[in-house]
Structure 1
Amino acid sequence: MTHRQRRLATTTRTLFTILTTSGVLAGAALAGAEPAGAAPGTGRIASGVTYRQFDLPAARGTVHAHLLTVDLSDPHVRVDLLDPGAVAARAPVSTMADTAGAVAGVNGDFFNINETQHPGVEATGASVGPAIAHGRLLKSAVPTAQRFGPSLPPGTDTTDVLGVGVDRRARMDRLKFVGTIRTPDGTLALRGLNQYALAQGSVGAYTAAWGSASRKRATCGSDTSRAAGCSTDTYEVRVRGGRVVTAADGPGSGPIAAGTTVLLGREAGADRLRALTTGERVTVRRQMVASATRVPYTFAVGGYPVLRGGRPLDGLDDTTSAVRTAAGYTSGGRRLLLLALDGAVAYRSGLTIAEVADEMRALGAVDAFSLDGGGSTTLVARTPGDRTVSVLNHPTESPERPVANGIGIFSKP
């Protein structure tokens, strides 16, 4: 057992001891020990938030699972996005949770983790799908061909999200970005916001929320291949106070000032931006349109559906097993389930996506959603008396992998 495994096992044993003493938890399996055959245990993390861990059989052997259950009908509880402070950035789930004051959380969306196919281009760390935090749109989805992660089930794409609305109900949905750029010579379409990849021939917008990473990656790849080369026909303009203030022949980098919007175009989009002149008035409008509800979202994160209406989606992969993170809900969206598998060597064989759907249904979920897995899978929670979270599963990487975002659980005393 490594030093990290011993530390995590000690943390979980501490949780076990404290909760057993208070009469809340009985017979929990200890993460990092040998949990096979142990009875499932349940513990209260905070008002409306419980945690338990358990073994479950899988095609490639026993796996160990960690589950957070969140009662969204509890007025003390809310769910929101954990983020590292910028779209184009990464941080460990534990760091993001402590910074935000969350009592628990898991990792979120797949993200731009490397750029081996584009030498010299910086990996941004930005997530694939849409992201909404505190009711504010942070970013929209990259083109489906440009996503990082396993193959998507048929009928799904990068606009799929799991979210919670202002009605405090969880739901799965699709969020489509709609934007316009109005100029004295007419209106052109805006095709994205704070994305690490733009559609060919399009224009995307970048704000202070993007961060300081280079925007070069947004001009690489194509509508059919993430590995396609970077465009040499690019142009960007900077808009502040409703007017064009600067222009450049290629994508830039560095922080974007509050109140400033950078418009970046490639191919035909670059040609449209070249027609703008310094001082010209420009109005940028943007919104997200939900396909399933008119209820505004307070939180949304990308991934892809695996269970809908109590039935697994057709075409789910049933051959590739891995450590996974998933989310689901029941009780009309009033109860949220966050599942993370243990990455300890003894249980690293994991589940297939088809098995994830079956397990989420067995846990009571009506709809379920796959989040990033493998080395990203992380579940954190505060143990009683602590002001910071502990990692309760064993991530497959050590130290904890920095990720693009996560799902944070917040509970007022």
Structure 2
Amino acid sequence: MTHRRRRSALVLLTSLGVLAGGALAGAAPVGAAQRGAVLARGVTYREYDVRGVKGIARVHLLSVDLGAPSVRTDLLYPGAVAARATVSRMADARGAVGGVNGDFFDISEAQHPGVEATGASVGPAVAGGRVLKSAVPDGQRFGPALPPGTGTVDVFGVGVDRRARLDRLRLDGAVRTPGGRLPLGGLNQYALPVGSVGAFTAEWGAASRVRATCGTDTDRAAGCSAETYEVTVRRGRVVARSARPGGGAIAAGTTVLVGREEGARRLRALAEGARVSVTHRLVAARSAVPYRFVVGGYPVLRGGRPQAGLDDRTAAVRTAVGSADGGRRLLLLALDGSPAYRAGLTIAEVAAALRAAGAVDGFSLDGGGSSTLVARAPGAASVTVRNHPTDAPERAVANGVGVFAGR
């Protein structure tokens, strides 16, 4: 048998054995058989059933060996922070072998008449080692209630050392003006803290920036600020001013500053032609290793133990990521949304399912109609959706986690 034929035989493997490890109560594997396949060296896909409090749920799981030389991971996103695309489209555009949907995002603005949803994600985002955005205030997030002790700055990421880890990323930035230094309250965010100044760059996209001045730090549905101001900075000088945030693409090398309340008053004092410099970075709470990518959500498993305060009553279709083997193995999990399995799992059961699959740390991503897992069969030209999302057709989302493998 030739080397190519031996590899084909491996790829066409259809049984990966029983679920490794003991399952926690509430997420017990049903039966012994699983269906799965090797997608590429270091990347496997499998599906199996677990029993939750609301019934049987089907798990779709990608296991990724981050130590495999040909394997890498990155954030999938549509090319702008304030934009949406389906996971399958983003994966195919980048040539990914698999992936899942990512962070919760600004999906609806029904409470703010005349304001369009931006599609931007809630938490920090880093793609290809490049910072895209920082986190909105906790009270401005979309999604279920956060477990105690967690917040919008929580992230899951893979460092340049090829290790997956949980962390927290906070914005450290400043606007220096002739009148003094202003702390930067946001970077490419759909919601800015009350009284702050936020920076928008070409990474934001063309969406209106008005939404950034709506709601408060504790109430996403609160009205839009009556006191706003915007200045455009190019080559270190103010080149335009406006009493209302605008929209449209931002040119490379240009920064648009948006202020609300006190932040608006400080920006209004800047004359056209004034010298202004803007600096920003994301500071990690735990790791000194730079990140290849990060995605927002919230932790559900730390050091092999469930995060305190996880909901054990509300079941739903969900997506989550986990790390095993000291961060050397990445697990991407999505539940099936077909009618037979739509009851899903509670978030406590998701933590249990991740642990049963070998994860030590786990992190919840967006769920419900967003939950999507895609994989590309060996030799196929494009990925297919494996988990039957509850939305039909496939929902467009803000970002995702992509897996890439050499051929």
Q: Structures share a fold, TM > 0.5? A: yes
Q: CA deviation at 1:381?
A: 0.7
Q: Does 1:243 align with 2:232?
A: no
Partners of 2:231 and 2:241 within 8 A in 1: yes
Residue matched to 2:217: 223
Shift, 1:19, TM fit: 7.6
1:25 aligns with one of 14, 23, 43: 14
Which 5+ residue runs of structure 1 have no aligned equivalent?
1-17, 30-34
Give CA deviations for 1:186-224 in whole Å, capped at 9, x if unaligned: 111111100000000000000111011100110000011
Q: Name the amino acid aligned to 1:285.
A: T
Instruction: Give the TM-score, by structure 2 length.
Output: 0.94
Separation in 2, partners of 1:331, 1:224: 38
**Structure 1 contact 27–38 (Cα < 8 Å) conserved:** no
Which residue number corresponds to residue 133 of structure 1? 127
**Contact 2:99–2:402 (CA<8 Å) still a contact in 1?**
yes
CA contact (8 A) 1:20 1:26 kept: no
Tell me whether 1:266 sits opposite 2:260 in the alignment. yes
Per-residue deviation, residues 19-50 of structure 1 (Å, max 9, x unmatched): 88965223899xxxxx9757112311112110
Q: Aligned residue for 1:379?
A: 373
Rounded to whole Å, the distance in 2 between the matches of 1:406 and 1:23 is 27
Would the alpha carbon gap of residues 392 and 38 (structure 1) be closer, same or farther in structure 2, given more than 3 Å must change? farther
SS state at 1:97 partner: helix
1:122 alignment partner AA: E
How far apart are residue 170 of structure 1 and its match?
0.3
Number of residue pairs aligned between Structure 1 and Structure 2: 391
- Which SS does the other structure have where 2:55 is aligned? coil
Give the TM-score normalised by structure 1: 0.92
What is the CA deviation profile of residues 219-258 of structure 1, one whole-angstrom value per residue up to 9, with x for unaligned ones? 0000110011000100000000011000000110011011
My pick for the range that moved more, 354-363 or 135-144, is 354-363
**CA–CA distance in structure 1, aligned partners of residues 229 and 193 of structure 2:** 14
Do the aligned partners of 1:176 and 1:289 also contact (CA within 8 Å) in 2? yes
Within 2, Cα distance between the matches of 1:313 and 1:349?
A: 22
Shift in CA distance, 36/292, structure 1 to aligned 2, threshold 3 Å: closer
- 2:139 matches 1:145: yes
Say if 1:316 and 1:354, in contact at 8 Å, map to a contact too.
Answer: yes
Please state whether the residue corresponding to 1:98 is helix, strand or coil. Answer: helix
Amino acid at match of 2:55: G
Aligned match of 2:159:
165
Q: Which residue of 2 aligns with 1:335?
A: 329
Q: Structure 1 pair 28/117, CA: closer, same or farther in 2 (3 Å)?
A: farther
Are the counterparts in 1 of residues 11 and 38 from structure 2 also a CA contact under 8 Å?
A: no
Over 3 Å counting, the alpha-carbon distance change for 1:78 and 1:401 in structure 2 is same
The answer for unaligned runs of 5 or more in structure 2 is: 1-6, 19-28
Change (3 A) 1:230 1:308: same
* Superposed CA RMSD: 1.7
Number of the residue aligned with 1:7: none
Report the equivalent of 2:396: 402
Which of 335, 340, 358 is the matching residue for 1:346? 340
For the 8 Å contact 1:68–1:337, the answer to whether it is kept is yes
Match of 2:311 among 304, 317, 324: 317
**Percent identity between the two aligned chains:** 66
Aligned partner of residue 209 in structure 1, secondary structure: coil
* Cα distance change, pair 271–197 in 1 and its aligned pair in 2 (3 A): same
Q: Which of 28, 50, 75 does residue 69 from structure 2 map onto? A: 75
Asked if the contact 2:232/2:257 (under 8 Å) is kept, the reply is: yes
- Distance 1:68-1:19 versus aligned 2 partners, 3 A rule: farther
The Cα offsets for residues 81-121 of structure 1, whole Å up to 9 and x where unpaired, read as 00011100100000000011111000000000001111111
CA distance in 2, matches of 1:287, 1:49: 33
Once superposed, which parts of structure 1, at least 4 consecutive aligned residues long, lie more than 2 Å away? Answer: 18-23, 26-29, 35-38
Q: What does residue 112 of structure 1 align with? A: 106
